[in-house]
Chain A
Amino acid sequence: MNDEPLIRVMALHAIEYCERLFYLEEVEEIRVADTAIYDGRRFHEQLPEYVTLEQFVLQNEELGIRGKIDCLRTQQGMLVPYEYKKGHARILPNGDVLAWPSDQVQIAAYSLLLEKHLNRPIMEGRVFYAADHRTVSISIDEKMRNQVMSAIARAKELRASTERPPITANERLCARCSLAPVCLPEEERLVEQVGRDTVRLFPEDRDLLDIHVTSPGSKVRRAGNTLLIEDKDGQKRSFPIEEVGSITLHGNAQITTQTIHLCANKGINIHWVTGGGHYIGSVSNSAGGVQRRLRQYRALIDPELKLRLAKALVIAKVESQLRYILRLTRGSEVRKELESYINTIRDVLSSTNTANSLDELRGYEGSAAKDYFACFSRLTVDDAKNGMAFIHRNRRPPRDPANALLSFLYSLLYRDCVQAIVTVGLDPTIGFYHQPRSQAYPLALDLMELFRVTLCDMTVLGTIHRNQWKVEEDFIQAGDQVWLSDTGRKKAIAAYENRKQDKWKHPVIGYSLTYARALELEVRLLEKEWTGKPGLFAMNRIR
């Protein structure tokens, strides 16, 4: 008896399809059920009446595998295992009907299990394809047996490794693969073939509801499979759990243990933010991800890689800042006034390329930020009459409404960055640019730099210029500090969340997606810097 867990026969099916799929599902334990998988499960629940489904659960230590046989029948005195598939058989141009290679290995593995169990030879297995109503017979010969044994050996080998195998060469497999949005094979192919037309395998939208609970004294409860949110006046609202993507609790809102359990079970993230807008923490049911973390640690202790990533990050940020200022001042008189700032930012950008250390980069970033916020200040001069002028960046605590708003949106962005990193299964505590601190996750701060301009700065300036703020109503002055009021907070959340839904075309990847999805995409591309093909991280720019 050894301690190694048995390999599922379904996993052998996966390994025959694509080694990377096997690795992601069986080793990294990333399982994403898509439409086809649910349809397959339902098909097995609803087999036609003439099939008496008796599932035989078998396992064998010697072979090292376990599996469930759909059905067993006797044909001319011989026992024959059956496997039911909802799809089509493989039909060759000459009209021959075959089972797909991965299905062959699967049925052969069942046959070997059965052989060991009954201690009598099994010479044939059959696969029934429901879509075209055909049964294909597979003879369990020496060749088939060897194929199963080598698949088992390969599975054991891959299980012991921490490296993800490369993407498959056969791109047609990827279009039907349930893990394509995790694996992102098309994006990797892009690195090799620049200008290639990428097939979108990454959903453009998140499709789930992000709930913000802002009213003080609200309570989030579970009622069956719904979330019940009750405010302090007793008004109740319910949300079907399958529609919810995340819950953010602002200030003194309560959530029950039962709800936390349900959310953990459904993969819904819960975030806590103080009434003043400081991020406190999150609960998320992050999958094991040992291999992912090991690879991340190994990669991010390499000073050269850290510098390269940090450089890409700072260039992306400063270039976004520059382009945004240029966009705002296009064809206006203000451009001349800001010329000197714009030129300094340009100079910083070109010297960033030659930076040799993280400290040097931080210097460049800081100097660009100073000039950028100086431009911000000039661009809000006319908003002083509404009390929304941005005189200079100040924080901890923010001392004017514009800064309070900006700080609050940065907190929301930080929350989204943590969520994206945890969803992908990386560890937010190990970053490459920001200093390790106990207060905040460095990797989340790193990722934030890519989205500060597009998601926060643009939202702040846009709403200020559209006169959407009423200083007396939306902000509270408490001594030196300025906070958002209840109404102000709701407005800010709406502005930020709506901005996240804007679609935008990634200049390198070549397809458009919402910013909400872009956050996760960036983390997946970051992981590719050390797992797969580097060169795609921090390539996003504003136009």
Chain B
Amino acid sequence: MSSRKMYYLICYDIREPKRWRKCYKLLKGFGERVQYSVFKCYLTDRKLAELRWELTKILSNEDSLLIAPIQQADVNRIIYLNMNIDWQLEKERFRTV
């Protein structure tokens, strides 16, 4: 019953605009886009399973998908060029706007 969260880098290559659109929209609901077709999501095991299931419903055999977990220790070793991403480890639980 762990509710521990972890960062995942989710990348996809989709050969058809309609499916691409669906996939993009779905992932926008789970995390933040960092590059074209690359998202970073901070997920529990359960959310990851949900996302994977939703994705399999959309993707077809010619599309590819890569989900890379990022260990907390590796977050500080990520290399950037002309970009920067904020990887907060302990995400806040409330936000006032």
- B50 and chain A: residue at smallest CB distance: A38
Q: Tell me whether B1 and A203 are in contact (CB under 8 A).
A: yes
Q: Tell me whether A212 and B1 are in contact (CB under 8 A).
A: no
Please judge, given known A-B contacts A210-B94, A218-B97, A497-B94, whether A38 and B28 are in contact too, CB under 8 Å.
no
Complex: how many Å from CA A224 to CA B32?
A: 13
B-contacting residues, A28-55, CB 8 Å: 33-39, 41-42, 45-46
Partner of B53, one of A41, A207, A243: A41
Q: Does A154 contact B (CB under 8 A)?
A: no
Please judge, given known A-B contacts A35-B45, A38-B52, A41-B53, whether A497 and B93 are in contact too, CB under 8 Å.
yes
Q: Tell me whether A207 and B3 are in contact (CB under 8 A).
A: yes
Q: Tell me whether B53 and A42 are in contact (CB under 8 A).
A: yes
Residues of B within 8 A of A203 (CB): 1, 3
Residues of A within 8 A of B57 (CB): 45
Residues of A within 8 A of B96 (CB): 211-214, 490, 493-494
- B32 and chain A: residue at smallest CB distance: A240
Complex: how many Å from CA A187 to CA B50?
A: 28
B-contacting residues, A271-310, CB 8 Å: none
Q: Does A163 contact B (CB under 8 A)?
A: no
- Looking at chain B's contact residues, the main secondary structure is mixed
Q: Tell me whether B93 and A225 are in contact (CB under 8 A).
A: no
Nearest-neighbour CB distance to chain B for A208, whole angstroms, equals 7
**Contact-residue bracket for chain B:** 20 to 34
- A229 and chain B: residue at smallest CB distance: B97
Complex: how many Å from CA A476 to CA B32?
A: 39
- A45 and chain B: residue at smallest CB distance: B56
Q: Does B72 contact A (CB under 8 A)?
A: no
Residues of B within 8 A of A41 (CB): 53
Q: Tell me whether A180 and B1 are in contact (CB under 8 A).
A: yes
Nearest-neighbour CB distance to chain A for B92, whole angstroms, equals 7
Residues of B within 8 A of A201 (CB): 1
**Contact-residue bracket for chain A:** 35 or more
Complex: how many Å from CA A214 to CA B30?
A: 25
A-contacting residues, B30-45, CB 8 Å: 30-32, 41-42, 44-45
Complex: how many Å from CA A33 to CA B47?
A: 10
Q: Does B26 contact A (CB under 8 A)?
A: yes
Partner of B29, one of A212, A242, A498: A242
Complex: how many Å from CA A229 to CA B97?
A: 8
Q: Tell me whether A35 and B46 are in contact (CB under 8 A).
A: yes
Q: Tell me whether A494 and B45 are in contact (CB under 8 A).
A: no
Nearest-neighbour CB distance to chain A for B35, whole angstroms, equals 17
Residues of B within 8 A of A215 (CB): 97
Q: Tell me whether A209 and B97 are in contact (CB under 8 A).
A: no
Partner of A46, one of B28, B31, B56: B56
Residues of A within 8 A of B32 (CB): 240
Q: Tell me whether B97 and A212 are in contact (CB under 8 A).
A: yes
Q: Tell me whether B94 and A242 are in contact (CB under 8 A).
A: no
Complex: how many Å from CA A209 to CA B42?
A: 12
Nearest-neighbour CB distance to chain B for A489, whole angstroms, equals 8
Q: Does B68 contact A (CB under 8 A)?
A: no
Residues of A within 8 A of B50 (CB): 33, 38
Q: Tell me whether A225 and B29 are in contact (CB under 8 A).
A: yes
A231-B97, A240-B32 are known contacts; what are 15 more A-B pairs with Cβ within 8 Å? A33-B46, A35-B48, A42-B49, A45-B56, A180-B1, A205-B3, A207-B5, A210-B95, A211-B94, A211-B95, A212-B96, A214-B96, A225-B28, A494-B94, A497-B94
- Can you pick out 11 interface pairs between chain A and chain B where the beta carbons lie within 8 Å of each other? A34-B49, A35-B46, A38-B53, A39-B49, A39-B53, A42-B52, A210-B93, A210-B95, A212-B95, A218-B97, A225-B28
